[in-house]
């Protein structure tokens, strides 16, 4: 049987993804190797390091049988993948935040709202349930600047510690969702390589649970 192709997210989740795969006994990956090559062989399997937003694309289209990616990326993606396990690491939250002195921060929701975000699809779904007149402004970075410059009334953004928000005089209004890293699989691969893929999901879950207990101890 040929090996698996696994998509790993570059960026903040990368090292933890490698070490969880190692801890689960699935792979023996040296994250530093990916600085020199984007595709690394480990036994019969191939690991590729791609942009986090590209992980669901590789997995849905069958370029990789499975992958690891943050839930925040899956919210934003319209790709159909199986989400098999919560890996626990990479915790962050998607929150709506507004300037400390704004009416919104005082608990008053205005009739219309301009929201700056890097997550337009999540914003669309979050506000779909609320009867507000919302204009979503898609930015590609530093969304905290949007309220400061008057471009937007508030931001919908990912925060891990809340420090960036606080540094820009923004306060959290409401949480839209909590995210962690997930193990995802291609639809056909889950059927045709079921035992392999399911075994990885089980091993990753166990390793993630162990890591969590150790972290708590």
Partner 1 sequence: MTGLDALPPGASVRRRADGFSDYLVGPAARRRILTDRFIETFEAWGYGFMVTPLIEPLDTIAAGVGGAQQSALFRFMDSDGALLALVGERTVSVARVVATQLQEGPFPLRLCYAGSVLRNQAPNGGRRRESLQAGCELIGAGGLAADAECIALAAAALERGGMEHIQVDVGHADFIPGLLDSAGLDPDAREEVLAALARRDLVAVESALEGTDAADAERRLLLAFPTLRGGREILDTAAGGLRGERPHRALQELAQLWDLLDAHAITDRVHLDLGAVRDWGYYTGPTFEVFSDDSGFALGSGGRYDTLLSRFGTALPATGFVLHVDRCHDSIARRAGSVTGSDAVHVSWENDAYDDALELARSLRNRGVACVCDLDADGDGVVRVTASGVRWSHRGRDEHGTVDAAVTALVSRPA
Residues at the interface with partner 1 (CB under 8 A): 57, 60-63, 65, 71, 78, 80-86, 182, 186-194, 197-198, 201
| CA separation for the pair 125, 104 (Å, rounded) | 20
Strands 112-117 and 133-138: parallel
Q: Which is nearer to partner 1, 34 or 58 (CB)?
A: 58
| CA separation for the pair 199, 57 (Å, rounded) | 23
| CA separation for the pair 73, 42 (Å, rounded) | 26
Q: Which is nearer to partner 1, 29 or 200 (CB)?
A: 200
| Three-state secondary-structure class, residue 206 | helix
User: CA gyration radius for the chain?
Assistant: 19
Closest approach of Cβ 198 to partner 1, in Å?
5
Q: Which is nearer to partner 1, 174 or 202 (CB)?
A: 202
Closest approach of Cβ 142 to partner 1, in Å?
25
Q: Which is nearer to partner 1, 15 or 86 (CB)?
A: 86
Q: Which is nearer to partner 1, 27 or 208 (CB)?
A: 208
| CA separation for the pair 142, 163 (Å, rounded) | 13
| CA separation for the pair 120, 140 (Å, rounded) | 10
Closest approach of Cβ 84 to partner 1, in Å?
6
Closest approach of Cβ 51 to partner 1, in Å?
15
Closest approach of Cβ 165 to partner 1, in Å?
26
């Amino acid at each position: 049987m040929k090996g698996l192709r696994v998509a790993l997210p570059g960026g903040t989740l990368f090292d933890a993804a490698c070490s969880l795969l190692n801890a689960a006994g699935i792979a023996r990956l040296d994250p530093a190797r990916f600085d020199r090559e984007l595709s690394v062989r480990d036994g019969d399997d191939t690991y590729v390091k791609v942009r986090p937003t590209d992980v669901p694309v590789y997995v849905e289209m069958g370029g990789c049988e499975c992958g690891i990616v943050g839930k925040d990326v899956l919210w934003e993606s319209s790709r159909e993948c199986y989400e098999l396990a919560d890996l626990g690491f990479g915790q962050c939250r998607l929150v709506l935040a507004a300037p400390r002195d704004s009416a919104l921060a005082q608990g008053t929701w205005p009739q219309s709202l301009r929201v700056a975000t890097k997550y337009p699809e999540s914003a669309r779904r979050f506000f779909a349930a609320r009867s507000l007149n919302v204009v979503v402004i898609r930015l590609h970075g530093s969304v905290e600047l949007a309220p400061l410059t008057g471009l937007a009334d508030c931001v919908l953004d990912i925060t891990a510690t809340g420090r960036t928000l606080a540094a820009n005089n923004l306060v959290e209004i409401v949480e839209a969702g909590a995210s962690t890293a997930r193990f995802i699989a291609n639809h056909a691969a889950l059927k045709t390589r079921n035992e392999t893929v399911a075994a990885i999901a089980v091993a990753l879950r166990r390793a993630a649970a162990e890591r969590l207990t150790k972290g708590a101890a």
